[in-house]
Amino acid sequence: MKLLVTGGAGFIGANFVRRTLATRPEAEVTVLDALTYAGSLGTLADIADQVVFVKGDVADEAVVDELVRQSEAVVHFAAETHNDNALVNPGAFVRSNIVGSFVLLEAVRRHGVRLHQVSTDEVYGDLALGEDRRFLEGDAFNPSSPYSASKAGGDLLLRAWVRSFGVEATVSHCTNNFGPWQHVEKFIPRQITNLLVGGSVKVYGDGKHVRDWIHVDDHNDAVWAILDKGEPGRTYHIGAGNEQGNLAVAQLLCELTGADPDRIELVLDRPGHDRRYALDASRLTAELGWSPRKTDFRAALGETVDWYRAHQDWWGAEKSGVEAQYARREHGARG
């Protein structure tokens, strides 16, 4: 199968490419990635001879049209993905996440190519702490942040292109991912690397915010299940039913790195910070037979800690710049 993977130099996309090469030797993979701050060729270095890499923007019609024309299926990961950045520069999110999806949808419509779009649980907005509910496929979108609104925008376009033009497309909403190759701006790698360089763990607000964590390989296996057996036009939730409070994750990371928990610091909260995310992913299990495998969170997080310990060459150069950016934002927000 000739597969186009957008955003394949980023965290989840690069893990997807690796897993695809390992499990589907027949797949011919082309990666389209703009190599923003979040994507790097270093992430694909050891498999560079097994993929075709094209540096380009998903919102660039000419590049996308040609690549989609040559493909049998597209898996769309490319996006601006960090909520804290969306509060500083939302325009980049509108362009990559909404215009990017539009350009891809038009290209798959023209060329009759199958599309799977990777989206997030954040499109539904948040739940209250202690509320006995998880979001279901079909719940109304109610995004709270510029990032989640831009992802919801791209997903609404997809729904309309399926219904109006009959494009053969599916979409999945996944919970928070962790694992190797995740940028050090995100919560888990930020705190692991803070601990490894002797810094403190920075938890926003009261630390009681809840995220539903899944290992990136489980996410990507679910994407393959949808590509193999999913019904065009259908929406699938991907989640491992693993809700954790941020403070609890911070404490676990201290334990796994042998750090004193007094290195956890409560810092200024993210504006508009969503309280709790939780998805019901039973449709995926019932209809496509997928279920998560890396369900021992402590063990999987321990492997992730070991990976960051062993790969300082990959994240070391980014770390101080990311922390300097966070420090400027906190200062600015406090006026």
Q: Count of residues binding ligand TDX (CB under 6 A)? A: 16
Nearest to ligand TDX by Cβ — which residue? 120
Q: Which tokens in the block code for residue 44?
A: 């694909």
Residue in 147, 236, 277, 308 annotated catalytic: 147
Residues 228-267 that bind ligand TDX (CB under 6 A): 246
> Does 109 engage in binding with ligand NAD (CB under 6 A)?
no
> Does 122 engage in binding with ligand TDX (CB under 6 A)?
yes
Residue number with CB closer to ligand TDX (270 or 283): 270
**Binding track, positions 75-114, relative to ligand TDX; x by CB under 6 A:** ------xxx-------------------------------
- Residue 277 bears catalytic tag: no
Given candidates 44, 63, 100, 194, which one binds ligand NAD under the rule CB under 6 A?
A: 100
Nearest to ligand NAD by Cβ — which residue? 10
Given candidates 3, 4, 33, 74, which one binds ligand NAD under the rule CB under 6 A?
A: 33
Residue 96's binding partner among ligand NAD, ligand TDX, none (Cβ under 5 to 8 angstroms by kind) is ligand NAD
Stretch that binds ligand NAD, among 32-40, 262-270, 287-295, 305-313 (CB under 6 A): 32-40
Residues recognised as catalytic:
121-122, 147
